[in-house]
Amino acid sequence: MLKRRAWRALAAALAVMTGTAGAEGYRTAADTEQVLRRAAAANLDTFEFSELARDAADNPVWLFRAGPERPGGPAMLVAAGLDGRHIVGSEIALRFIERLADGSEESEKLLSEHTIYVVTNMNPAGLATWFDSPTRAHSGSTGASDSDHDGESGEDLAEDLDGDGAIRMIRVKHPRGTHIADGKDGAFARPADAMKGERGEWLILSEGRDNDGDERWNEEEDGAVSVARNFPTDFPWFEKGSASNPADQPQVHALIDFLYDNPQIGTVVVLGTEDNLLTAPDPEKTTDPDVKGGRWGRKPSSLPNKNDLPLLRKVAEEYRKSLGLKGEVSTPGASDAAQGGLARFASVALGRFAVATPVWTSNMQLALLPELSDEEKKALPENGEIAKLQRFRDWLVERDPQGWAAWKPIKHPDFPDHDAEAGGFAPHARIVPPPALLDDLATTHTLFLMETARRAPKVAIESAELKRLERGLFELRLAVRNDGFLPDVLHQGVYSSLVRPTRIEIEGADVLDGPERIKLEPLAGNGGRTEMRRVVHLNDGGKTLTVRLVSDMAGRDERVLRTDDAE
């Protein structure tokens, strides 16, 4: 056994070493595939590498399983790479797999009790554009589309006018200007405030030409379908990037089918643009639906279930603590991302425990920076938003010189008679960290993911015994307990009408005072228990009966009871 473990650890370490050749930065699809294949090959009995689906452009979307198939759970899904810009989520998911494959005692113990599924690249076409030049903010899949619904596709994309390899911003001095420069060196812009006597000076545009002459710039840039917002709950109909219908992207409906077909997955973690960890849902904005009533007349709500929210808030608090954050951090765009997002769907529709984090944002980074002295604060611009941008920019340029480009004059073909400048942040600068941060982020996040897996519900038969009655009848006394952090079925799980209750099945005897298949009420986490008694009559000639505890996502247990042992 020791020998086998040692070999596996060596094989896993080799696989990881080979795969991390480019791990100083972000890895391409080819690198990722290599890591996944080697990790699976080195741990054939524990890991599995497969293809979840192919996207609309026929790129593979991989599914990695760590831990054996475990029909009764517990199991967790980590999904990343839904938004093409969010390569950091994909990279962290990959490093999590590497951690699970490292052969360490901690990983082996985790996988002996839990199964973890990881999808690193839900949007392979979008993620691939991250490596393109010029770098552009491309959240959706690829392919020309008519996002402005004018009957023509891809007729106005962005151009790298200053040739610096990134699509940034343009500002043009123009009578129709709406913004004024602010901050150190006038590097930032904000809307002019007419009440303060300010007059707009700059037009702020994204970098490129108005190719179709409609006085809108780059309106078909990033026009392809948003995979990250293709899930059915609160689907953003008719918004830019929305598919024509929810769940119409092949990998999206494949993932939903996968979740239905694998009810043992009780927890879903999304590393992406959704967030309920850096900013946990407001306890004042919840829903408390009647789970006892029928479904007739129910009205939808995408607010968190009031009764489950404390669990989520506790996990969020622990997450922030692990990152060194003292409080909540706002995540711009997270509420939009939740519309049609995976975490919201998994929670609201499927009743699973779903958490989501962007892993890193400029706001999070700012919250981690040391407190400024009063003097330093005074030196910042008066406008709070500009002050934050400036401080982040100053932090960024020391770590990623491409992250910010100073404004430089250019000749803009659409404004030949006006001063124009190109510059600003790189397209991903505020949601994808410089590679130097990846090691620390991977460490904190893999620990968090492992801890989240361990929070799964875990039900077991606490005690089971037979008490002899008259005339060959017995009383079956049974106690069941949940030792996990999460309940075996969330309140939203009950409301979803999709999560099966934990069940008791009795074999080898007739139950005289009720049905033979008994559905249990939900068992709260951390010791929630239930007891029951049933009068049973053993089948002809039988000396034993079997009691099975069957849960979809909280494990399974079984006891064989002998009549000879009955009191």
Partner 1 sequence: MTNSLRCTLAAAAILAAAHSPAAETAYRVPPENVFPALGAPSHPKVEIAWNRYYDVDGLNGFLRALAAAHPDFARVVKVGESHQGREILALEVTNYKVGDPATKPAMYIDGNIHGNEVQAGEVVLHTAWYLLEMRENVERVGQLLDNSVFYLLPSINPDGRDYWFDNPNNPHTSRGGQIPTDNDLDGLVDEDGPEDLDGDGQITQMRRRTPFGTHKPDPQFPDRLMVRVGPDERGEFEVLGTEGIDNDGDGEVNEDGPGGYDPNRNWAWDWQPEGVQGGAHRYPFSLPETRAVRDYVLARPNIAAAQSYHNAGGMILSGPGREGAVVHDGDASLYKLIGERGEQMLPAYDYLITWKDLYTVWGGELEWFYGGLGILCYTNELWSNDNLHRTPDPDANARMRFVRDVLLDQGFTAWTTHTHPQYGEVEVGGTHATFGRVPPSFLLEEEMHRNTVFTLFHAEQMPRLSIGEVAVERLGRGLSRVRADIVNDGLTPTRLQQDVENKITPANSATITGRGLKVLASGIVTDRDHGRVDFQHDRPERLRVDAVPGNGRVTVEFIVSGDGKGTLRFEAMKGGLAEKEFEVE
Smallest separation (angstroms) from partner 1 to the CB of 103: 36
Select 101 or 350, whichever has its Cβ closest to partner 1.
Answer: 350
Select 32 or 249, whichever has its Cβ closest to partner 1.
Answer: 249
Select 323 or 346, whichever has its Cβ closest to partner 1.
Answer: 346
| Binding span for partner 1 by CB under 8 A among 5-13, 413-421, 429-437, 513-521 | 513-521
Reduced to 3 states, what is the DSSP secondary structure of residue 202?
Answer: strand
Tell me: does residue 174 bind partner 1 (CB under 8 A): no
User: Which of 149, 176, 326, 378 touches partner 1 (CB under 8 A)?
Assistant: 149
Select 35 or 309, whichever has its Cβ closest to partner 1.
Answer: 309
Tokens 């108005």 belong to: 210
Please name the helix (run of DSSP H) or strand (run of DSSP E) that holds residue 5, with its range, or none.
Answer: helix 2-19
What amino acid occupies position 352?
R
Select 297 or 384, whichever has its Cβ closest to partner 1.
Answer: 297
Tell me: does residue 68 bind partner 1 (CB under 8 A): no
Select 245 or 463, whichever has its Cβ closest to partner 1.
Answer: 245
**Sequence-ordered alpha helix ranges (H) in 43-148:** 87-100, 105-113, 124-128
CA 276/CA 314 separation, integer angstroms: 11
CA 443/CA 447 separation, integer angstroms: 6
| Binding span for partner 1 by CB under 8 A among 56-64, 166-174, 234-242, 465-473 | 234-242
Smallest separation (angstroms) from partner 1 to the CB of 347: 11
Tell me whether strands 265-271 and 75-80 are parallel, antiparallel or unpaired: parallel
CA 533/CA 551 separation, integer angstroms: 20
Smallest separation (angstroms) from partner 1 to the CB of 239: 10
Smallest separation (angstroms) from partner 1 to the CB of 388: 35
Please name the helix (run of DSSP H) or strand (run of DSSP E) that holds residue 269, with its range, or none.
Answer: strand 265-271
Closest CA to 231 of 121, 366, 83: 83
Smallest separation (angstroms) from partner 1 to the CB of 247: 4
Tell me: does residue 297 bind partner 1 (CB under 8 A): yes
CB-based contact 159:209 (threshold 8 Å): yes
Select 233 or 365, whichever has its Cβ closest to partner 1.
Answer: 233
* Total Cβ atoms within 10 A of residue 532: 13
Smallest separation (angstroms) from partner 1 to the CB of 291: 9
CA 446/CA 238 separation, integer angstroms: 37
Tokens 């590497």 belong to: 98
Closest CA to 403 of 124, 164, 60: 164
Tell me: does residue 245 bind partner 1 (CB under 8 A): yes
User: Which of 194, 197, 238, 470 touches partner 1 (CB under 8 A)?
Assistant: 238
Distance of CA 62 to the CA centre of its chain: 16
Contact set for partner 1, span 527-556 (CB under 8 A): 550, 552
User: Which of 232, 333, 435, 508 touches partner 1 (CB under 8 A)?
Assistant: 232
Smallest separation (angstroms) from partner 1 to the CB of 82: 16
Select 410 or 480, whichever has its Cβ closest to partner 1.
Answer: 480
Closest CA to 288 of 306, 311, 302, 303: 306
User: Which of 378, 515, 540, 567 touches partner 1 (CB under 8 A)?
Assistant: 515
Tell me: does residue 233 bind partner 1 (CB under 8 A): yes
Pattern 16-45, partner 1, x by CB under 8 A: ------------------------------
User: Which runs of E-coded beta strand occur in 392-507?
Assistant: 404-410, 420-425, 459-468, 473-482, 503-507
Name 287's bridge partners. Answer: 305
Tell me: does residue 290 bind partner 1 (CB under 8 A): no
Tell me: does residue 246 bind partner 1 (CB under 8 A): yes
Reduced to 3 states, what is the DSSP secondary structure of residue 10?
Answer: helix
Contact set for partner 1, span 445-504 (CB under 8 A): 492, 495-501, 503
Tell me: does residue 298 bind partner 1 (CB under 8 A): yes
Select 253 or 477, whichever has its Cβ closest to partner 1.
Answer: 253
Residue count at the site for partner 1 (CB under 8 A)? 49
CA 304/CA 82 separation, integer angstroms: 22
Contact set for partner 1, span 71-100 (CB under 8 A): none
Smallest separation (angstroms) from partner 1 to the CB of 159: 18
Tell me: does residue 514 bind partner 1 (CB under 8 A): yes
Q: Residue 135 has what DSSP assignment?
A: B
Reduced to 3 states, what is the DSSP secondary structure of residue 13?
Answer: helix
CA 286/CA 364 separation, integer angstroms: 25
User: Which of 260, 285, 288, 469 touches partner 1 (CB under 8 A)?
Assistant: 260
CA 351/CA 23 separation, integer angstroms: 36
| Binding span for partner 1 by CB under 8 A among 45-53, 186-194, 448-456, 509-517 | 509-517
CB-based contact 405:166 (threshold 8 Å): yes
CA 92/CA 441 separation, integer angstroms: 8
CB-based contact 89:271 (threshold 8 Å): yes
- Listing from the earlier edge strand, what are the strands of the sheet with 47-54? 47-54, 60-66, 115-119, 75-80, 265-271, 353-357
| Binding span for partner 1 by CB under 8 A among 47-55, 293-301, 403-411, 523-531 | 293-301
Smallest separation (angstroms) from partner 1 to the CB of 151: 3
Contact set for partner 1, span 193-222 (CB under 8 A): 212-215
Alpha carbon distances (Å) from 89 to 127, 272, 339: 11, 6, 19
Tokens 């995408």 belong to: 302
Smallest separation (angstroms) from partner 1 to the CB of 490: 12
**Sequence-ordered alpha helix ranges (H) in 417-475:** 438-454
Smallest separation (angstroms) from partner 1 to the CB of 513: 11
| Binding span for partner 1 by CB under 8 A among 27-35, 240-248, 396-404, 438-446 | 240-248
Closest CA to 57 of 17, 84, 35: 84
User: Which of 2, 30, 151, 375 touches partner 1 (CB under 8 A)?
Assistant: 151
Using CB under 8 A as the criterion, which residues of the chain lie in contact with partner 1 when the complex forms? 146, 148-151, 212-215, 231-233, 235, 237-238, 244-248, 253, 256-257, 260, 295, 297-300, 348-351, 492, 495-501, 503, 514-517, 519, 550, 552
